[in-house]
Structure 1
Amino acid sequence: MNKAIPIKVKSTYTKSFQAGYPLIPEDSIVQLPKSISEGAIIDLVDERNAFLAKGYYGKQNKGRGWILSRDLHEVIDQAFFEKQIKKAIEKRNTFFNDPETTAFRIFNGEGDGIGGLTIDYFNGYYLITWYSEGIFHYKDRIVQALMHVTNAKGIYEKKRFAVKGTYIEDDDFVTGEQASFPLIVKENGISFAVYLNDGAMVGVFLDQRNVRKVIRDKYAEGKTVLNTFSYTGAFSVAAALGGAIKTTSVDLANRSKSKTIEQFSINSIDYEAHDIIVEDVFNYFKYAVRKQLLFDMVILDPPSFARSKKHTFSAGKDYPALLEQAIQLTEKNGVIVASSNCSTFNMTKFKGFIERAFQATGGKYKVLEEFSLPEDFKTMKEFKEGNYLKVVIIKKLS
């Protein structure tokens, strides 16, 4: 291993690093060596050159690397990665022993000790996602570590980082046995078709597992459901299995229709009894208001940022206005599932968005339940931004 490069940090950041903050922000560094390369092991030191933490250098939208250890003598080798992955898997033993759930996260970045890296399990196969070229530098060691501590049938990867100004979002088979797609996985008994080899996303967002379960088990029976930004219709499937009279799935992507039909079909649901609409959600809202359509449940889970031909949406700025439109389409005593995965604001601010939207529409509401990331998406209290998911289930009273 190459010798660690000492990096001096500003005094204003010393306490946060000592307290366990795992991200190395760009403006925390006094000066970077001109020759530093992605993946370089660095030792953070204070202004008196006292050791603070060991990490790796990697440009990511959030910073310039992640802390890996508080031990000056820690060696970042394959044994290190094996130790971290094994420890993470042991914490998820209950998932591996549950035949009703065969898709979950086994390694969640900084929550499991290595920022910029996630590993998901899909019915015997593993998917590694790299969020910086810095952590990708350790690909061979991490893949070997994963193979040593698991009985992986096969490993796939997705690269989500920029190289020389070009943003890379691709994926590929890495090693082992290639899966047959669609790969069918289970989540609380619901079946989902996933594709580990087809674009940036696999077909289901694992962080919404608990929300889908509560929709199915508690809120869907006998209801009409509008699922906006529906992607492959996972929320619609959960609602239909929970006894919803009818679901309406709306998404701008052309392939959302065929993907949603597939998810309904593998769960033996008659997709023709449900509406699957390829349309800009903002245009659909205008249409629904004009037609005076009302739903017993509206699911609102937009991306943090989205752009269509006529609309640009930023969750931090535009969520209250979007929620106002959802409120108009919700029956009295109906339920709104308000969700955001935007990491730039917390649950308190998100609930402020909800309050603002109901004030603007003159309505009243009651918060029924709140959700954040599920237990397999391990987070750390020192890095609140890592717990990005905010879901509030609301009853519209008037």
Structure 2
Amino acid sequence: MPALDQALRAALAHRQPLLNELYAQGTDCYRLFHGSQEGAGGLTIDRYGPQLLVQSFHQSLERDQLLQLAEQCQASLGDELLLVYNDRSRGNSRVDRSDPVYQAAPEALEDLIGHEWGLNYRVRGRHAGQDPLLFLDLRNARGWVKAHSTDKSVLNLFAYTCGVGLSAAAGGAREVVNLDFAEGNLAVGRENGALNPELPAMQFVQSDYFPAIRQLAGLPINARRGQKLPHYPRLAQRQFDLVLLDPPAWAKSAFGTVDLLRDYQSLLKPAILATADDGVLICCNNLAKVALSDWREQVLRCAEKLGRPVRDCQVLAPAADFPSLDGQPPLKTLILQF
């Protein structure tokens, strides 16, 4: 416990300059403790507006440990926050909803509002899924999109709860299309839009990635051998000025397999073709075992083979609340200018 206490104190002190920047830009959603890099593997502590979310992935915290960590964070921030503890040390990192260590107060589990880049986001400590509704390590990418979307058409692939789309709308995009397979994710995206009524309306497309992106790219849709294709929405071939590709590590459907380790190209190729000439494709890879240099080379080679060579490639690192001791954070983001 003393070692964890000391590690958290160091992490909180290290973040103070960043927190001053975040408050100035209208952000109160950020990581306070990134345990894998700051001395306690499998432990994360995040702030989501009025909520303090503690999650343990390797072993459960004891109640006294949890309360002391929460008190330490609140004392450092000078704010009273609503504590939620998600013990995810069981199989497949699933939340233990029986809460044997700590039962959150009812008000901590209500629908709350957090803020990032001056925008309002839905916050829920518990919902049907396992992960928080806003992935904090993608904040810099959302900020980049907000700053570079003026009068652009934007396609947000694997949109989840549509934070990138919301950022594009706030940045003055003339059109924003959010695409995700899960209606529950898009429903939260619609909530996020409603929480920012001053922004123009976004579009939402519920579809498997492969049939949607292949139609937009003008490529055929192939069924697995011996399988009949399920229904999918029909989309016209077209290109967008700005495309965001942030896929999960692995997923399988009747249309294909998302596999960032073995077959990133099958995701990337149609996304490149759906990006306009002189457009921008932002692509992400969140696998820690994939080296940035190797993946970057793979991405650039794929674009070259398609006859769409990249004029400029920028690496966008996560913010300082996601430190990386070796300079190789799990989330890797490339901004490709065609």
**Which TM-score band (shorter chain)?**
0.7 to 0.9
Identify the residue that residue 227 of structure 2 maps to in structure 1: none
Alignment of 1:20-169 (within 5 A): 77=1, 79-97=2-20, 98=23, 100-133=26-59, 136=60, 138-151=61-74, 152-163=80-91, 168-169=94-95
In 2, are the aligned partners of 1:108 and 1:119 still within 8 Å (CA)?
yes
CA–CA separation in structure 2 for the residues paired with 1:94 and 1:186: 18
Query: What is the Cα deviation at residue 395 of structure 1?
Result: 0.9
The residue type equivalent to 1:194 in the other structure is: V
Name the residue aligned to 2:293. 348
After superposition, residues 318-329 of structure 1 pair within 5 angstroms as 318-329=263-274
CA shift for structure 1 position 338: 0.9
- The answer to whether 1:267 aligns with 2:196 is yes
Residue 139 of structure 2: which of 200, 203, 209 is its match?
A: 209
Look up the SS of the partner of 2:237 in the other structure: coil
What is the DSSP-based 3-state SS (H/G/I as helix, E as strand, rest coil) of the residue aligned with 2:125?
Answer: coil
Q: Distance in 1 between matches of 2:87 and 2:252?
A: 22
TM-superposition CA deviations, 1:353-386 (whole Å, max 9, x none): 21221122122112342112210012212xx66x
Indicate how the Cα distance of structure 1 residues 220 and 345 shifts in structure 2: closer, same or farther if over 3 A, else same.
same
Does the alignment pair 1:392 with 2:299? Answer: no
- TM-score, normalized by length of structure 1? 0.73
Q: Distance in 2 between matches of 1:354 and 1:178?
A: 45
Match of 1:187 among 112, 116, 121: 116
Q: 1:170 to 1:249 in 2, by over 3 A?
A: farther
Q: Which has the larger radius of gyration?
A: 1
Give the 4+ runs in structure 1 shifted more than 4 A: 170-173
Cα offset for 1:95?
4.7
Contact 1:226 1:249 in 2 (8 A): yes
Cα distance change, pair 293–170 in 1 and its aligned pair in 2 (3 A): farther
Q: Deviations over 1:5-40 (max 9, x none)?
A: xxxxxxxxxxxxxxxxxxxxxxxxxxxxxxxxxxxx
Greater fraction strand: 1
Tell me what 1:247 maps to: 176
| Deviation string, structure 1 residues 290-309 (Cα, Å, up to 9, x no partner) | 43211111110001111223
Could you list the per-position Cα deviations for residues 26-73 of structure 1 after superposition, in whole angstroms to 9, with x for gaps in the alignment? Answer: xxxxxxxxxxxxxxxxxxxxxxxxxxxxxxxxxxxxxxxxxxxxxxxx
Alpha-carbon displacement from aligned partner over 1:320-356 (angstroms, at most 9, x marks no partner): 2211111111110000011111112111012112122
Give the equivalent residue in structure 2 for 1:286.
214
Cα gap change, 1:147 to 1:365, in 2 (>3 Å):
closer
What displacement does 1:179 show? 2.2
**What residue is the counterpart of 2:130 in the other structure?**
200
Amino-acid identity (%): 26
8 Å CA contact retained: 1:233, 1:249: yes
What is the 5 A alignment of 1:368-387?
368-381=313-326, 387=329
Task: Show structure 1 runs of 5+ residues with no match.
Answer: 1-76
Paired AA for residue 85 in structure 1: L
Q: Deviations over 1:228-272 (max 9, x none)?
A: 00001000000010010001110001212211111111112566x
Change (3 A) 1:168 1:178: same
Q: Residue 51 of structure 1 corresponds to which residue in structure 2?
A: none
Aligned with 1:150: secondary structure? helix
- In structure 2, relative to structure 1, the CA distance for the partners of 1:259 and 1:148 (3 Å cut) is closer
The Cα of 1:212 is off from its aligned counterpart by 0.7
Per the alignment, residue 283 of structure 2 pairs with 338
* Alpha-carbon distance in 1 for matches of 2:71, 2:203: 46
Task: Output the amino acid matched with 2:321.
Answer: D
Summarize the alignment of residues 218-233 of structure 1 with structure 2, pairs less than 5 Å apart. 219-233=148-162
CA shift for structure 1 position 282? 0.7
Is 2:142–2:164's contact at 8 Å kept on the other side of the alignment? yes
Gaps of 5+ in 2: 75-79, 219-235
- Mark the CA change 1:277 to 1:82 in structure 2 (over 3 Å): closer, same or farther: same
Is this contact kept in 2: 1:358–1:364, CA < 8 A?
yes
Report the Cα distance in structure 2 between the residues aligned to 1:340 and 1:297, rounded to whole angstroms: 18
The answer to whether the 8 A contact 2:46-2:53 is kept is yes
CA distance in 2, matches of 1:96, 1:176: 27
Does the CA contact (< 8 Å) of 1:107 and 1:120 recur in 2? yes
AA aligned to 2:216 is A
Provide the C-alpha distance between the structure 2 equivalents of 1:211 and 1:296, rounded to a whole number of angstroms: 16
User: What amino acid is aligned across from residue 335 of structure 2 in structure 1?
Assistant: I
